[in-house]
Amino acid sequence: MTFYKYQGTGNDFIIVDNRLQKISKNNTKRIAELCDRRFGIGADGFILLENDKDSDFKMVYFNADGNESSMCGNGGRCITAFAKYLGIIDNEAIFNAIDGLHKAKIEDHTVHLHMNDITKIDVFDRHLFLDTGSPHHVEMVNDVKAYNVKEMGSKIRYGSPYGKAGSNVNFVEQVSENIFAVRTYERGVEDETLSCGTGVTAVAIAMHKGNKTKANEVDLKTPGGDLRVTFEEHDDGYKNVWLIGPAVQVYKGEIEW
């Protein structure tokens, strides 16, 4: 199996061209083995690019545990860069993912990904919850750099009301009016990742909803690099939401499937 390794602000993925349907989507054990950082290639997720009758291509995304998962924002940006590398697209794309169609565009090495509208945000005393293609718990903390993300994130991820299905968990510290530092615990990886695209999207919207910023362009600083989220506020929620950042091919290789 020929594979490609991509990363978007340190969120890394194994991507395979599966337009000929040679790779089975049912072999979750093998996908988990490939994502293992000691016994496999190593990645936060595994992505198949497939043909799609309604768009330029289809994105099929698996978490590092081998299970097919909800939308991955950084993965969506990386597969867009991969589609350009394959010659499927030029600088603009429409692709299908588990949460529907997404528009994307490439400017230099920066990929802009259009996210779904957000109509429901639950506001609590200590956190907010919203779905940006994947479910996200957003909580502000002091000194996020020193925070024990793995321990606290795992407790929240499995706790009430999320239960077995779980939620991704984002810990946030405000840096300035429109800049926030973010660290994310991702379900399916069951650890902190260097960056999470749907996570920073959730943080940007949550910080605006929670009156922490009035800006509709928000910069997010993750351990893996900087991302930007832009959006429009409407009476019925947030629309025209874009996730913006780099997507880089790291290497190409071959491995037994």
Enclosing domain of residue 138: 121-245
Taking the C-alpha atoms of residue 3 and residue 217, their distance in angstroms, rounded to an integer, is 35
What token pair was written down for 250? 């790291």
Is residue 49, in this structure, part of any structural domain at all? Answer: yes
CATH for 9 = 3.10.310.10
Domain assignment present for 23? yes
Q: Do both 47 and 137 map to the same domain?
A: no
**Domain shared by 36 and 66, yes or no:** yes
76 with 165, same domain: the answer is no
Q: Check pLDDT > 90 for residue 149.
A: yes
- The model's pLDDT over 82-126, given as tens digits with 9 standing for 90+, comes to 999 999 999 999 999 999 999 999 998 899 999 999 999 999 999
Give catalytic residue positions.
72, 196
Sort 176 into a burial class: Cβ within 10 Å, 0-12 / 13-18 / 19+: exposed
- Judgement on whether residues 70 and 170 belong to the same structural domain of the protein: no
Q: Are residues 59 and 11 in the same domain?
A: yes
Same domain flag for 187 and 88: no
Domain shared by 6 and 98, yes or no: yes
pLDDT tens-digit readout, 158-190 = 888 998 889 999 999 999 999 999 999 999 999
User: In this structure, is residue 112 part of a structural domain?
Assistant: no
Are residues 1 and 254 in contact, defined by beta-carbon separation less than 8 angstroms? Answer: yes
| pTM of the full structure | 0.96
The number of domains in the chain is 2
Percentage of the residues of the chain whose pLDDT score is greater than 90: 97
114 falls within a domain: no
Which residues have a Cβ under 8 Å from the Cβ of 206 and sit 6 or more positions away? 121, 128, 130, 136, 138, 172
188 and 100 in a single domain? The answer is: no
